[in-house]
Amino acid sequence: MSPLSCIQDNNHFIFYINATFKELSLSPPSLDWFNVERLPNEFDIIGQATGRGTTWFLRYQCNDYVLRHYKRGGAVARVSEDSFIYLSLSRTRPVQELSLLVKLQRWHLPAPRPIAGLVTRNGLTWQGDLITAKIDGAEDVHNVLLQRPLNTMEWRHIGATIRRFHQRQVFHHDLNIHNIMLDSEGQAWLIDFDKCGIKRGNGWKRANLKRLLRSLEKESKKNSDYGFEERNWQSLLEGYESLGPES
């Protein structure tokens, strides 16, 4: 049985984690949850972040959430910044990301808790949005490195955390330093599981790590006081290898 429940409103399909809504005593989501200009009165906007698009931070019934609209990247975004070819509901990115996040929660991996997603179908295309729970007291490691260097144990912990995902064959499409967070307890988290999934084999895992290294080197060149040195990468790899050899 799918963990996702679906509400259809004309060409809008709202997917949500029914068990989560019951646990949090939430009513099923409506279309207004996904539009900051029409948010229900019970919602508060507590912040925003800009990148490829705007990410909104919302508060509802004492809990904090993250609302993200799916955007295209690269040259194709000049043609259509947020419309995607429709193949089926199950192959839309909100449904795939929610489904993966449910698995990560079941495996007790440190990833955002899935809440709800919206798919709006427009003929041969779709647009979408995703809501996840905000990670309490967490800051992306890039911003931390702009303020201070991490210690050896923090780098080792990040490496071990990535290895936990790899042991479950979780491929992170965009493993860069912006998509790794540290919370106030020192726990590392991976975020943004768009276009990610379960991938067979082991050969891709080193390439995944190299992508992270490239992002660290890129940010280090851009920021003169960036808290990253080559020895830090070795500490990360030590943490990664500390969980034993690949099976």
What is the bridge-based pairing of β-strands 54-60 and 188-190?
unpaired
State the pairing for strand pair 180-182/43-50: unpaired
Residues annotated as part of the active site: 174
| Strands in the chain per DSSP E | 4-9, 12-17, 43-50, 54-60, 63-69, 84-85, 114-122, 125-133, 139-140, 170-171, 180-182, 188-190, 197-198
Provide the token pair at 89.
């509901």
Contact 89, 14 (CB under 8 A): no
Residue 28 structure tokens: 């099923």
Distance CA 24, CA 14 (A): 18
In angstroms, the CA 131 to CA 94 distance is: 9
Neighbours of 211 (CB within 10 A): 14
Query: 127: alpha, beta or left, given left = phi > 0 and alpha = psi -120 to 50?
Result: beta
Token pair of 204 as six digits? 């891709």
